[in-house]
Amino acid sequence: MTLLVTGGAGFIGSNFVLDWLKQSEEPVVTLDALTYAGNLENLQALHDDGRHTFVQGDICDRALVDRLLAEHRPRALVHFAAESHVDRSISGPGAFMRTNIEGTYTLLEATRAYWSALDDDAKREFRFHHVSTDEVYGTLRADDPPFAETNSYEPNSPYSASKAASDHLVRAWHHTYGLPVLTTNCSNNYGPYHFPEKLIPLMIVNALAGKPLPVYGDGQQIRDWLFVSDHCAGIRAVLAGGRLGETYNIGGWNEKANIDIVKTVCALLDELRPDPAGPYSRLITYVKDRPGHDRRYAIDARKIERELGWRPAETFETGIRKTVQWYLANPDWVARVQSGAYREWVQQQYDQAAQS
């Protein structure tokens, strides 16, 4: 009994692997290409843990995926590996098409060949769990109901379009070939090990460095925020009891405007690490909105609660405090992930927005 986890050195993937091995003796094989957002240091706590095997490699490498399936005989594959940053998808969409679409296709085909050769009992037990995003549904008006699993797909960025394509592939491999798949679409995650290009860790890191806190447009873009450990619990619930071929939305029931998130982070830092120069909110800087910026996301997570009994354990207030405390307690991790290439990209991205 083994899990194969793709993208397990990234933000959500590493939290999932760590949480899984806290609660289960079932071994995990992690496959990750260790691109800029994949960080083996996230899994450092498992360095001497015999239950965990790490393999550096690309999900588009069919021979490698075939070999891992044959050697480790997993009873499930949990697929996190993805390019996931909207801004990067706008400036360089090619990597998103390759990883999110071609990579998912490669995994599906390799898994189909492996699954087809299993005996009947193992076939019935096997699962391919695809982790996706609420961004595939597009944007909501202020008075629209939250996204349900039945919403039509209306992706608006190269990132969300590539994830929508991967969702459709997973669905098609189930309906055409009978592959036992599950799909989860989550809202915005936050928590430990979050790469500091995303809103919350970027605000924390910049504030502590006394740098501007860039806020797109008027800052009134609304997102539903989900603490990463709650997301991991939701995935475990779906993997254990989800109906084959079904999609489950996993959300935090926490709709917040971006500017309110930034002000909350500032207030927590004022409390936990006050700056003699004054309140961190003085660093808030409004920059030109990014192209095609979706106005509102919200997840209706009643299906997973009704069918599987899952609800988030964290409120936004408890989760964001834990997140800020983690970043304050782990400055070495933050310093090491901020490579020269990362710093140059962030500076270029937000300098361009500020000058536009």
d(CA 313, CA 94): 37
Identify whether the C-beta of residue 173 lies closer than 8 Å to the C-beta of residue 114: no
Query: Which tokens in the block code for residue 166?
Result: 């991967």
Kindly give the pairing relationship between strand 76-79 and strand 127-133.
Answer: parallel
Residue 83 is a catalytic residue: no
φ, ψ of residue 183 to 5 degrees: the values are: -130, 135
Catalytic residue among 58, 87, 134, 255: 134
Catalytic residue among 105, 137, 159, 216: 159
Residue 134 is a catalytic residue: yes
Residue 9: Cβ within 10 Å count: 26
d(CA 15, CA 215): 27
SS3 label, residue 284: strand
Identify whether the C-beta of residue 39 lies closer than 8 Å to the C-beta of residue 7: no
E strands, 244-316, where?
247-250, 255-257, 284-287
Q: What is the dihedral of CA 106, 88, 346, 255, to 10 degrees?
A: -100
Give me the active site residues, please.
134-135, 159
